[in-house]
Amino acid sequence: MVIELSNIKKDFGKHKVLKGVDLSFSEGKIYSILGPNGSGKTTLMKSILGLVKPSSGAITVCGKDAINDFKQREFIGYAPQIARFPENLTVNEVIKLVTSIRKQPSNPDPLIQLFEIDSFRTQRLKNLSGGTRQKVNLALSLMFDSKIYILDEPTSGLDPINRIRLKELLLDLKQQGKTILVTTHILHLAEQISDELIFLLEGKIKYSGPTEELMSMTSSENLEQAIAKLIQQQTEKEQAHV
């Protein structure tokens, strides 16, 4: 297993966001983490990176402790949900900055070409459009040859053509044996690219496993239906409880 989480809990003050999450991720697969707004997807991803410190539980990445150490990040390329940059730098300068801090060779050119942002390379980040910023965000996370890519809402702000480009790129990376974690609210995208789905609801894993299995388990024809049924089950359970 490339990433393992055991019994991860996280509260922000009184607010319990993750309530005991057990997951493992293996090589050469794409995992989609689904769930409503505020269900804890970003918190889960940030815990793997050590950006958020879990209240309890253990996480290992390639066998290394991910909570108290920092070495696991050598293996991870991460694109945050909301990309924030040193606004006065140009695209080229931010690429150089991140490369110098990471101390690994980077290869941004193919990504710059793929997303057609060559003409923005000498522009300051504060002047870029939202979609272009997102492309820079993706380029920064994918420009290193990492074992793992963690992408939080990678399609947000991308036009349909670039969404397709990204999809193909992710499938290509998977072929190279990378482990990829994405969150998305675009269910048909999740359906197309994922090997496994993780459905998070109120800080607990409601489903984790292959996409087809979820469909047959809920006797649904597509992912929308399957997810709707999972949420319905939960509501019924809660009502029975009351």
Partner 1 sequence: MFNVFKYVLFDLLRSKWSIVYTLFYVLSSSALLYFANSSTSAVAGLMNIVLFITPLVSLLLGVIYFYQNRDFAELLLAQPIRRTQYFLGNYLGLITALIANLLVGIGLPALLISNETTAFTELSILILSGVLLTLIFSALALLITLLNENRIKGFGYAIIIWLFFAVIYDGLFLMLLLYFNDYPLETFALVGVILNPMDLCRVLILLQLDLSALMGFTGAVFQQYFGSTFGFVTALTSGLVWVALPLAFLIKKGNTKDF
Ligand X SMILES: Nc1ncnc2c1ncn2[C@@H]1O[C@H](COP(=O)(O)OP(=O)(O)OP(=O)(O)O)[C@@H](O)[C@H]1O
CB of 163 to ligand X, least distance (A): 18
Residues 8/18, Cβ–Cβ less than 8 Å:
yes
Q: Which of 98, 117, 158, 197 binds partner 1 (CB under 8 A)?
A: 98
Long-range CB pairs of 141-144 (<8 Å, 24+ gap) are: 141/77, 141/78, 141/79, 142/77, 142/79, 142/111, 142/169, 142/173, 143/77, 143/95, 143/99, 143/106, 143/107, 143/108, 143/111, 144/77, 144/102, 144/104, 144/105, 144/106, 144/107
Q: Which of 81, 92, 211, 234 binds ligand X (CB under 6 A)?
A: 81
In whole angstroms, give the CA distance from residue 113 to residue 77: 19
3-state secondary structure of 130: helix
CB of 134 to partner 1, least distance (A): 14
Residue 79's Cβ-count burial label (10 Å; 0-12, 13-18, 19+) is: buried
Residue 34 or 95 having the CB closest to Mg ion: 34
Q: Does residue number 184 form part of the binding site for Mg ion (CB under 5 A)?
A: no
**Nearest-CB residue for Mg ion:** 42
Query: 117 to 156, contacts with partner 1 by CB under 8 A?
Result: 140
Q: Does residue number 86 form part of the binding site for partner 1 (CB under 8 A)?
A: yes
CB of 217 to partner 1, least distance (A): 35
Contacts with partner 1: how many residues (CB under 8 A)? Answer: 28
Q: 201: left (phi > 0), else alpha (psi -120 to 50), else beta?
A: beta
Q: Which stretch binds ligand X (CB under 6 A): 23-31, 32-40, 115-123, 205-213?
A: 32-40
Q: Which stretch binds partner 1 (CB under 8 A): 92-100, 154-162, 197-205, 233-241?
A: 92-100
Residues 35/200, Cβ–Cβ less than 8 Å:
yes
Q: Does residue number 41 form part of the binding site for ligand X (CB under 6 A)?
A: yes
Residue 37 or 176 having the CB closest to ligand X: 37
Q: Does residue number 51 form part of the binding site for ligand X (CB under 6 A)?
A: no
Place of tokens 């108290």: 68
Q: Which of 3, 21, 40, 42 binds Mg ion (CB under 5 A)?
A: 42
Binding site for Mg ion (CB under 5 A): 41-42, 81
Binding site for ligand X (CB under 6 A): 12, 15, 17, 35, 37-43, 81
